[in-house]
Structure 1
Amino acid sequence: MDLPVMPPVQPMLAKSVKGVPASGDHSFEPKWDGFRCLVFKDGDEVELTSRNTKPLTRYFPEVVAAIREQLPARIVLDGELFVAVGDRLEFEVLQERIHPAKSRVDMLAEKTPAAFVAFDLLALGDESYVDRPFSERRAAMTEALGGLSGPCFLTRTTLDPDEAERWFSDFEGAGLDGVIAKPLGARYEQNARTMLKVKHERTADVVVAGYREHKTSTPEKPLLGSLLLGLYADGELQHIGVSASFTAARRAELIEELQPLVCSIEDHPWGRWNEFLTANPDRVPGTQSRWSAGKDLSFTPLRPERVLEVKYDHMEGRRFRHTAHFKRWRPDRDPESCGYDQLEEPVSYDLAKILSGADQPRGGDAT
């Protein structure tokens, strides 16, 4: 392989902002919820690398085959790998694709095939595009990739902030994660937070059901690592996710504050799950999976008597997709009143329309 831009490449990153920028110097696009992926293609040679430059090629043979067939002979792209089930992106199904056994990789490639959506151009033919403004990169990419219909796609874009606001609201129903804003005049800067991202943020009142200690915790100086959170459904407390990201001082305060609630697992609503020793489909707290091999996932059970308000972006099935952020204690809330009915459900949206641009407004593309 001999390309103008060669691996390893660290992708350009984004910093969070509260809302869609209203200025006229940005290009907007959907924020895809998958694995960030750099594609390097030189003839029949194809390499896929992750955000942290690790190889992904062996896990997605069907995507490699599609890249060989659909993309120009020599090209370097930044984009996202995703798996769609029906009309939604499914991140958990995508995670299953990272497996050491070739037989399972091949089986999943057929059963739950992945796709690739391109959203930036680093090289084409013998030319590097990393020092060119995004407006030029997008124009060249549109010309080179126009007409793709899957499993390789070109992401849609718009220059209209109002249209981006609509995407932000509408596209979540297809499992997308928000909106990305790219300065039209910016070059491609590796590992730099040049882009802006607007993500969904909501709040929920959840029950604190346990905690895990921080990796630096010691008997002399115990520190809280994460809080295990729950919501009630049909009278039973379900595990919905975790809250973490505390300062060292706050970790020490929280673990001391929660000691009066510590109980035995036999007296805990999740005590019936104590029998599980391997991974299971309900993500039982404290159990192992291939993603957590070698990690201590044991937790300290707490009587489910305290309610916490958290911020979260969106759901993946019946759990928070990402770590929830601690906002405040809610002593006014009864734990049993904290159920799934409080969670906002996004309106469903046809993923095929997003990928095809079937409802793209007139003159919406950055080209």
Structure 2
Amino acid sequence: MELPVNPPVEPMLAKSIPSLPTAPGMSYEPKWDGFRCIVFRDGDEVELASRGGKTLTRYFPEVVEQVRAQLPERCVVDGEIIVIRRDTGEPRLDFEMLGQRIHPAASRVKMLAEHTPASFVAFDLLALGDQALTGEGYAKRRARLVEALAEVRPPMHVTPVTTDVDTARDWFERFEGAGLDGVIAKPAEGLYEPGKRTMYKIKHSRTADTVVAGFRWHKEGPIVGSLLLGLYDDEGRLHHVGVAASFTRERRAELVQELEQYREDVVDHPWNWAGQAPGSAAESIESLPAEGGTRLPGGVSRWTGKKDLSFVPLRPELVVEVGYDAMEGDRFRHTAQFKRWRPDRDPRSCTYEQLDRPIRFDVESVLAGRP
């Protein structure tokens, strides 16, 4: 492969800020919730490179096929690989289904490529033909991208862009219902600087009161690694919804003492992951029983594989307020942030009803430029 910009290339990143920035020529685009991917094409040679520099090529043969069919013969395009779920009402992004695509078995990759095909959303152009564009401002790169990909059709897309801040605010509020992750802002004259945070990202920020039903030890010693968080459903079952894990070493040691009283007299803990005893390793998700084909309350995620999921069970009596950005199904999309203890809250009042659920929105309307 001989291109003006050759792999490996670390993608340009974005710094998180609380609100939309405004400046002359500032562009705004949806923040896609998928796998960041730089596509390198030199004739029939195609490489899909992840944010960490690892290859995604073998996992997405249908994307490789579309790159050969629709992208310019020699180009380097920055974008996002996404999976759209269409069986639950309005089509929306599904990061969990996307995660299933990273599988070692070629037969399973082939099957998933047929049943849950991925799409590619282009949002920057690093090279075209024999010309490198990383030294050009974003506005010029965007114009070249739109021109070069003018004829692409689904499942290949060019992300919508606006320079109107009111439109961007509207996108921020409405597009979350389609599974998008916020808004990205890009200065008009910004160069493409690999690995540098020269763009801006604005994501949703929320809080929830959750039940602490266990913790895991830290890998570096007898200190708390993470708090296991739960919420009750309408039938009174406590579901594992995520973890809070960002603490200083000193704070981790303090938590051991604070949680000690809740370790005593634990009876009929609601999270019996594969019948594990306290301190034992949980089995993989494939071995877990299910109710009606779904995970048991507190059941582990398919992401974990055979990872040791042992935890120290606690009586579900302690309530903590945490910060989170979005939900992925019935769980927090990312690690939650510890805010404060809530001794005034009844654990049974910590239910899913308190969560801010975005209005459902059709992601295909976003991709088609009909927002």
For residues 219-241 of structure 1, the C-alpha deviation after alignment (integer angstroms, 9 at most, x for no partner) is xxx21111100001111111111
Deviates more, 1:267-276 or 1:88-97: 267-276
CA distance in 2 between counterparts of 1:354 and 1:297 reads: 38
Aligned twin of 2:137: 133
In the alignment, residue 43 of structure 1 is paired with which amino acid? G
Give the deviation of 1:288 after TM superposition: 7.9
Q: C-alpha displacement at 1:277, in angstroms?
A: 2.3
Per mean C-alpha deviation after superposition, the further-off stretch among 17-26 and 197-206 is: 17-26
Q: Distance in 1 between matches of 2:273 and 2:348?
A: 19
Give the equivalent residue in structure 2 for 1:255.
Answer: 256
Answer whether contact 2:40 2:76 (CA < 8 A) is retained: yes
Shift of 1:284: 6.7
Give the one of 331, 339, 348 matched to 1:319. 331
Structure 1 window deviating more from structure 2 (292-301 vs 93-102): it is 292-301
**1:95 counterpart = 2:95:** no
CA distance in 2, matches of 1:346, 1:134: 31
Superposition deviation, residue 297 in structure 1: 1.8
Name the structure 2 match of 1:37: 37
Offset of residue 271 of structure 1: 3.3
- For 1:65, what is the secondary structure of its paired residue? helix
1:362 equivalent in structure 2: none
Q: Determine if contact 2:274/2:283 at 8 Å carries over to the other structure.
A: no
Q: Which amino acid aligns with 1:341?
A: E
Match of 1:302 in 2: 314
Report if aligned partners of 2:284, 2:305 keep a CA contact under 8 Å in 1.
no
Structure 2 residue 16 is the aligned partner of structure 1 residue 16:
yes
> 2:362 maps to which residue?
350
| Deviation of the 1:26 alpha carbon | 1.5
Match of 2:28 in 1: 28
Gaps of 5+ in 1: 360-367
Corresponding pairs, count: 354
Deviates more, 1:130-139 or 1:19-28: 19-28
Do 2:15 and 2:198's aligned partners in 1 also have CA atoms closer than 8 Å? Answer: yes
Give 1:23 deviation, angstroms: 2.2
**Whole-angstrom CA distance in 2 between matches of 1:287 and 1:171:** 29
Q: How does 1:212-361 map to 2 (within 5 A)?
A: 212-217=216-221, 222-233=222-233, 234-263=235-264, 267-271=268-272, 273-274=274-275, 277-279=283-285, 280=288, 282=295, 289=302, 291-293=303-305, 295-359=307-371
How far apart, CA to CA, are the structure 2 residues paired with 1:295 and 1:277?
Answer: 8
Deviation at 1:278, TM superposition (A): 2.2
Q: In 1, Cα distance between the equivalents of 2:274 and 2:265?
A: 13
Equivalent residue letter for 1:282: R
Deviations 1:139-198 (A, max 9, x none): 100100113221111001011111100000000010000000011111111111111000
Question: Alignment partner of 1:302: what SS?
Answer: strand
| Aligned-partner Cα distance in 2 for 1:287–1:317 | 13
- 1:69, 1:215 → 2: CA distance? 47
RMSD: 1.7
Give the Cα–Cα distance (whole angstroms) in 1 for the partners of residues 50 and 264 of structure 2: 42
For 1:258 and 1:20, how far apart are their aligned partners in 2?
A: 40
Letter in 2 for 1:123: A
Matches within 5 A, 1:140-159: 140-159=144-163
Q: How does 1:72-83 map to 2 (within 5 A)?
A: 72-83=72-83
Q: Which amino acid aligns with 2:231?
A: L
Query: Which amino acid in 2 is paired with 1:153?
Result: H
Q: Determine if contact 1:215/1:225 at 8 Å carries over to the other structure.
A: yes
Asked if the contact 2:273–2:299 (Cα under 8 Å) also holds between the matched residues in 1, the reply is no
Counterparts in 2 of 1:135 and 1:272: CA distance versus 1, 3 Å: closer
Structure 1 letter corresponding to 2:129: G
TM-score (norm 2): 0.92
TM-score (norm 1): 0.93
1:106 aligns with 2:110: yes
Contact persistence 1:223–1:252 (CA under 8 A): yes
* In 2, Cα distance between equivalents of 1:353 and 1:90: 16
Q: Tell me how far 1:296 sits from its aligned partner.
A: 2.7
CA distance in 2, matches of 1:32, 1:324: 20
CA contact (8 A) 1:286 1:299 kept: no
- Work out the CA distance in 2 between the residues paired with 1:26 and 1:9: 25
Q: What is the CA–CA distance in structure 2 between the aligned matches of 1:120 and 1:288, rounded to whole Å?
A: 33
Residues 240 and 299, structure 2, Cα contact 8 Å, conserved in 1:
no
1:205 to 203, 209, 212: 209
Q: Is the 8 A contact 2:324 2:337 kept in 1?
A: yes
Report % sequence identity: 58
Give the match's secondary structure for 2:295: coil
What secondary structure is seen at the aligned counterpart in 2 of 1:78? strand
- Amino acid paired to 2:19: G
Could you tell me which residue of structure 2 aligns to residue 365 of structure 1?
none
Whole-Å Cα distance in 2 between the matches of residues 23 and 192 of structure 1?
A: 20
- The amino acid that maps onto 1:56 is L
TM-fit CA distance, 1:25: 3.6
